[in-house]
Amino acid sequence: MVQILVPIDFSTSAMHALEYALKLGEKMPSNICLIHCLSDLVEETNAILSNKQVEVELQKIKTDLTQKHPSQKVTVRIEQGYPEDILVGISKRDEPDVIVMGTKSKEETIKELLGSVTSDVIKKARVPVLAVPHKSSVNLDRLNRILFVTDFGESDYRSLHKLVRLVSPFETQIHAVHFTTSMPDKWDKKRIEQMQAYCEKTYRNHTMDFEFITGSDFLHALDVYMANKSIDMIAMTRHKRNMISKIFHSSITRKLLFHTEVPLLVFHE
């Protein structure tokens, strides 16, 4: 059973992410856990009242979901602490299959984007994190094409395995691409051929393409490729010390998390 963790702060973006999680849950046996983090420092009596109010709201959401999706298992939990700390801790202890989080729109202020809980969780979690932009489509029946950015490392093979597991109920084409600033060299060509051969042998029932994208600007090249291929989701491994790690510089993170309207699925080494 796939374990899906969805942080809920009752905001529009969080509820939108929950819709996305439900669509995933409809396609495979899964448990969706709704979690709310209480981070305000208040007096004990008010904290009890606040806990009760939050629990009532979460139970309302759970009841509504189970009525609309009777086959879907939904649980709720309340934790005391800051969301970025709680979610990272849960990712280490409980190891859910994926954390599904909402992101705000590109119209939000720079201050709000830099302080994004989603961005913090992506950087520190030990399980895949799916960031769902506020204005993205939740029609997963059209999850036709996923862009998987690879650096050919061993962790990318593990990430690809997790990706295939998550999207196996969908008729999805995976575009595995490697970025180079110039034409790929012989070593790059050999590594992409090795990955292709491995995937053709291991994932025989899945359609995969293997390509290079080139250019001086990674994000621009990525945008062009996504537009040409009608990409529905981006997936990548967050490496600690290589080219892909550079995209998590704060300004570029804002680009990926808030400027585009395509969900971003991030795996970790």
**CATH number for the domain including 245?**
3.40.50.620
Q: Provide CB contacts within 8 A for 234, sequence distance 6+.
A: 146, 147, 149, 222, 226, 256, 260, 262, 263, 264, 265
User: Does 178 lie in the same domain as 121?
Assistant: no
Q: Which amino acid is at 254?
A: R
Number of structural domains the chain divides into:
2
Confirm whether 138 is domain-assigned.
no
CB of 14 within 8 A of CB of 8?
yes
- pTM score of the predicted model: 0.85
Structure tokens at 199: 């995937």
User: Does 162 lie in the same domain as 55?
Assistant: no
Give Cα 85 to chain centroid, integer Å: 18
Range of the structural domain that residue 209 is part of:
143-268
Helix 83-93 and helix 117-124, axial crossing angle in degrees, nearest 10: 30
**For residues 197-224, b (16+ Cβ closer than 10 Å) or e, as one string?**
eebeeebeebebebeebeeeebbebbbe
User: Does 184 lie in the same domain as 110?
Assistant: no
Walk along the chain (269 residues) and give the pLDDT tens digit of each residue.
889 999 998 888 899 899 889 888 888 888 999 999 887 544 444 444 467 788 888 999 999 988 888 888 999 999 988 888 999 999 999 999 999 998 865 444 444 444 478 888 888 888 999 988 877 776 666 678 999 999 898 999 999 999 998 888 888 899 999 988 889 999 999 999 999 999 999 999 899 999 999 988 877 888 889 989 999 899 988 766 544 444 444 444 455 555 567 888 989 87
User: Does 189 lie in the same domain as 123?
Assistant: no
